Structure 1
Amino acid sequence: MGSELITGQSVSGSQGLMSSSGQLEESRGRGAVRRWGIIATCAVGGSVCALYALAGPFVAPALRKVCLPFVPATTAQVSNVLSVLRSRSGALVDIGSGDGRIVIAAAKEGFRAVGFELNPWLVLYSCYRAWREGVHHRTSFYLSDLWKVSFSQYSNVVIFGVPQMMEQLEAKLQSELQTSAKVVACRFPFPTWTPDHMAGEGIDTVWVYDAKTFKSQVTTAKPLNNPEDSKTLPQ
């Protein structure tokens, strides 16, 4: 009987041990599931934040009343811009400089070239690209709204605009530029100015405007900028 009692206690203890072991494993399993759930949530949240940070600067212009979307200039467009400005001198500005290809190409031709862009990622990339191609000492890129900048110090102005902004930009440039300036419009011409000449064809067409001519014209459009907000940046 003593032997039977000892055996019974041993079996009961083994069952309790197995039960505790099972509960421990189950607890560990639930903990692992919770940990993976937290990791997955953090990963998804981080991905969303990263996507917003990367895409935000590209999407934000579309939310503006007058947007200037980033559409890279073609090789032919860059060539046409440089060809119509080849005999020119003085500082050059690209309004809405995107990835900096116009500014960099102009710097390689000897211009002191400046770009204004609203997308911070494109500004950073432009600076890197200018450094990589060895023209960083002749280029500058600014994160700025074109309506809050004065372009009075530039002799050569390049703009890849959209139709809904061209009339207001006409008024702004007409009031700010010197009579010796030249303006090159790509993709879309200005609505009331008469171009001095044109180069290229189709989407690669560029229109060249002489400030001496358009400053003598009368315009009824009002620029979108506030004169008190305008600032002149160093050449």
Structure 2
Amino acid sequence: MKVKLWTIVYTKGGEMDDSIEMELASLASAERDRSFLLVKGLGRAVCLTYMVNTALVFPWYRRSQVCGVLRLLRGRKGTVVDLGSGDGRLVCAVASQGFRADGYELNPFLLGYSRLLAHRKGLASQATFHRRDLFEADLRQYRNIVIYGEPVILRRLEQKLAEEVTSGSRVICCRYKLPTWAPTTTLGEGIETIYVYDKV
């Protein structure tokens, strides 16, 4: 039996038969494909779970904060930008009030959700979403800047705001205030506090 197996696997000169070599390569390739599909499936599951948690379980803006921002924009003109726009609910709400609004968001899943939301609400021409770091946004072009950022981000962002925010512009910070700027006014209380900074 051992002699027959040896005869099947090897040909004259000790070289492996081409058909056996191809079969082994095919089996190895199939095994790699199965492993790749498993890893790919797990990756998709993790990403989907993250997207659902961030977009639905831990929303950036509460309804009262969206209403508060709309109230603070009432009577104002110019474009609006939301730095770190998350699921896009604020950008869409602002666009529905007639503003031209932009959102900056790095998370591709939230970005896709935001664009779908704008499309479904018929706001695609008014609400634009960019997959870019908020620090790359040119703030000179915006008259109204909305931010929902953690204190560590606001510390970095404050210098950029000082350099780029133009006279007559309004900066609105939800929940957390800028480290050294004195707010012009505030709205709400507790975790729903909104801090307003008017550039004179």
**TMscore range, shorter length:** 0.7 to 0.9
Which residue matches 1:48? 42
Question: For residues 50 and 120 of structure 2, what CA distance do their matches in structure 1 show?
Answer: 26
Which residue matches 1:111? 99
Q: Report how far residue 57 of structure 1 moved.
A: 7.9
CA contact (8 A) 1:57 1:120 kept: no
Q: 1:171 aligns with which of 159, 166, 179?
A: 159
Question: For residues 159 and 36 of structure 2, what CA distance do their matches in structure 1 show?
Answer: 50
One-letter amino acid of the counterpart of residue 44, structure 2: A
Gaps of at least 5 residues in structure 1 are 1-37, 59-69, 213-235
Which residue matches 1:184? 172
One-letter amino acid of the counterpart of residue 119, structure 2: W
> Cα RMSD between the aligned structures?
2.5
Give the length in aligned residue pairs: 166
CA contact (8 A) 2:65 2:174 kept: yes
Indicate whether 1:92 and 2:80 are aligned: yes
Which residue matches 2:63? 75
Which residue matches 1:4? none
Which residue matches 2:194? 206
Which residue matches 1:124? 112
Percent identity between matched residues is 40
Q: TM-score with structure 1 length normalisation?
A: 0.65
Q: Which of the two has higher C-alpha Rg?
A: 1
Q: Deviations over 1:58-100 (max 9, x none)?
A: 9xxxxxxxxxxx7421100101111111111100000000010
Gaps of at least 5 residues in structure 2 are 1-30, 53-57
Indicate whether 1:157 and 2:145 are aligned: yes
Question: For residues 160 and 79 of structure 1, what CA distance do their matches in structure 2 show?
Answer: 14
Q: Secondary structure at the match of 2:103?
A: strand
Q: Secondary structure at the match of 1:137?
A: coil
Which residue matches 2:21? none
Q: Secondary structure at the match of 1:136?
A: coil
CA contact (8 A) 2:60 2:148 kept: no
Q: Report how far residue 101 of structure 1 moved.
A: 0.6
